[in-house]
């Protein structure tokens, strides 16, 4: 059974100006998401700045998210690492916290062969019972998990459910869908490709856009799932300029700026991420106004 269908938000981790996690504001962001129909919350992913959280902070944020959500929607925790043992540790602790699923990024920097990726993900998933999604984002990791490896993992490991596909390579994703035979739950990892990937059998999106437009992102997915393809496509295209603006600098710089513009107090970023360039911030603000969320 799939962990979720529809729009899952890759939620930001709000911070105070000194860099500490702002848990009170995190709770408010969770409530904003649930009130606006989000279908799942993905905590401590790329957008949540997991790479600059300490292990203790990482797990504290996951535990806090699980407590605040309180089973109202599925919570999926980013617990991947380029170190297999670290990923096992984070995954076991997240499972203890009560998450509904894990998101496991491909190993970055040291990378791996396809056989190495298979061994890495299999070893992590078999250390827990909770279902897991692979996360393919070669633009960040320098490592691409091929469709054949995804299918092999989903067939061989009972709790590997599918993949968040953020390669941007529609041909690769189509090939994955063609050879999977229904054994792989595919989620778009790019907000500008929700409808194209759902047209290939994808179940939804793990979304940056949903941080600022949860209702609209949910509707893009729900309309498609309910057969209102024309409506879904229109909403996808209407959101395209905002999707582009949210990635005009490296994620999550623009989305934190966007939330701050909305009065949502996402706060600062941890270095090496820095504040958005003023010219880009002005463009983002204009696009947000044009889209109707400012």
Q: Which residues are catalytic?
A: 135, 164
Q: How far apart are CA 153 and CA 228, in angstroms?
A: 33
DSSP letters for 176-228? HHHHHTT--EEEESSGGGHHHHHHTT--EEEESGGGT-HHHHHHHHHHHHTT-
Helices within the chain (DSSP H only):
23-35, 55-69, 84-97, 114-125, 138-141, 147-156, 170-180, 194-199, 214-225, 229-238, 240-245, 253-261, 278-291
- Of 129, 171, 175, the residue nearest 151 (C-alpha): 175
């Amino acid at each position: 059974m799939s962990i979720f269908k529809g729009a899952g938000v890759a939620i930001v981790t709000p911070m105070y100006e000194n860099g500490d996690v702002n848990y009170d504001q995190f709770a408010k962001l969770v409530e904003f998401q649930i009130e606006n129909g989000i279908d799942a919350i993905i905590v401590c992913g790329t957008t949540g700045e997991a790479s600059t959280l300490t292990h203790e902070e990482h797990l504290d944020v996951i535990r806090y998210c699980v407590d605040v959500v309180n089973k109202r929607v599925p919570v999926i925790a980013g617990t991947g690492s380029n170190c297999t043992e670290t990923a096992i540790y984070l995954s076991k602790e997240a499972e203890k916290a009560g998450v509904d699923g894990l998101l496991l990024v491909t190993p970055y920097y040291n990378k791996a062969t396809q056989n190495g990726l298979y061994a890495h993900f299999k070893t992590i998933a078999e250390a827990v019972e909770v279902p897991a999604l692979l996360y393919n984002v070669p633009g960040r990791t320098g490592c691409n998990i091929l469709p054949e490896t995804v299918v092999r993992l989903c067939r061989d490991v009972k709790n590997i459910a599918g993949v968040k596909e953020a390669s941007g390579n529609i041909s690769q994703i189509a090939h994955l869908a063609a050879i999977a035979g229904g054994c792989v739950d595919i989620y778009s990892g790019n907000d500008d490709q929700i409808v194209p990937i759902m047209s290939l059998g994808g179940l939804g999106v793990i979304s940056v856009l949903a941080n600022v437009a949860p209702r609209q992102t949910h509707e893009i997915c729900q309309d498609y799932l309910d057969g209102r393809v024309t409506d879904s496509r229109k909403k996808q295209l209407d959101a395209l300029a905002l999707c582009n603006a949210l990635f005009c600098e490296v994620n999550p710089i623009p989305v934190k700026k966007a939330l701050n513009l909305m009065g949502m107090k996402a706060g600062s970023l941890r270095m090496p991420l820095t504040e958005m360039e003023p010219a880009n911030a002005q463009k983002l603000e204009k696009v947000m106004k044009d889209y109707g969320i400012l």
